[in-house]
């Protein structure tokens, strides 16, 4: 996640550095591809962590709502 934040900051600062348009375009494409790839790898890491947590703890459902439902008799 830190990598994506740093690359995003680089994308935000890049237009103000005075780099020629040709090189700026190449750098934007490379940074965009790296951000794209890194976001998918982070997504995979997050999904695998949540799967491991569910397997180790089991699924638990707790209803926290003390709500009145329309057709419920008291």
Residue 13 CA to residue 11 CA, distance in Å, equals 6
Q: 11: part of which helix (H) or strand (E)? A: helix 2-13
List the pLDDT tens digit at each of the 74 positions of the chain. Answer: 788 888 889 899 988 999 999 999 999 999 999 988 888 887 766 666 655 555 556 666 666 666 666 665 65
Measured distance between the N- and C-terminal CA atoms of the chain, rounded to whole angstroms: 50
d(CA 8, CA 5): 5
**pLDDT the model gives residue 38:** 87
20-43 burial, b at 16+ Cβ within 10 Å, e below that, comes to: eeeeeeeeeeeeeeebeeeeeeee
């Amino acid at each position: 996640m830190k990598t994506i934040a740093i690359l995003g900051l680089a994308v935000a600062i890049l237009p103000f550095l005075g780099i020629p348009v040709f090189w700026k375009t190449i750098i934007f494409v490379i940074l965009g591809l790296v951000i794209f790839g890194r976001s998918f790898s982070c997504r995979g890491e997050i999904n695998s962590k949540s799967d491991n947590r569910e397997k180790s703890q089991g699924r638990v459902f707790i209803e926290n709502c003390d709500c009145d439902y329309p057709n419920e008799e008291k």
